[in-house]
Amino acid sequence: MKGKVKILLSATFVSLLIVSCQDNKPTAPQTPDPTIPTGRFTKCTDPRPQACTREFRPVCSQVDTGVRCVTTPCPSTENKTAPNACTACSNPKVHGYWLSACPE
C-alpha cells in the first residue's frame, strides 16, 4: 500500500515539474494578411443577373481563373474589384464577393 502511495506522489511531483517548465511567454498576435478581404463572403446565386444598375458600391469579387493544378499552392481564383455586387455576379466566373474593394 505504501509503495503505491509513493509511486502516486512521485508521478504527481514529476507531472508538476513538467507543467512548471513550460514556456509561459505571451505569443505575438498574428498580423492579418493584407491581400485577403475581411468581412462576410456572399456567394453568387443562379440565375445570374442579366442587367445591372450603374451604381458605384465596389465589391471584391472572387473570380475563377480556370487554372487547375496538381500541386499547391495553385491560384485557381483571384480577387478583382467590381463596381457593385450585381455586376460582379453577372460574370459566370465569379464565385461571390466581399462588401468592399479588394485590398491593394
pLDDT tens sequence across 27-83: 555 555 566 677 899 999 999 999 999 999 999 999 999 988 888 778 889 999 999
pTM passes above 0.75 = no
**What's the pLDDT at 74?**
81
Residue 85 has pLDDT above 80, yes or no: yes
The pairs formed by 7-11 with CB atoms below 8 angstroms and a separation of 24 or more are: none
From residue 66, alpha-carbon distances to 17, 76, 78 in Å are 56, 6, 10
Q: If pLDDT is split at 50, 70 and 90, which confidence band does 8 have?
A: low
Q: Are 83 and 58 in contact (CB under 8 A)?
A: yes
SS3 state of residue 78? strand
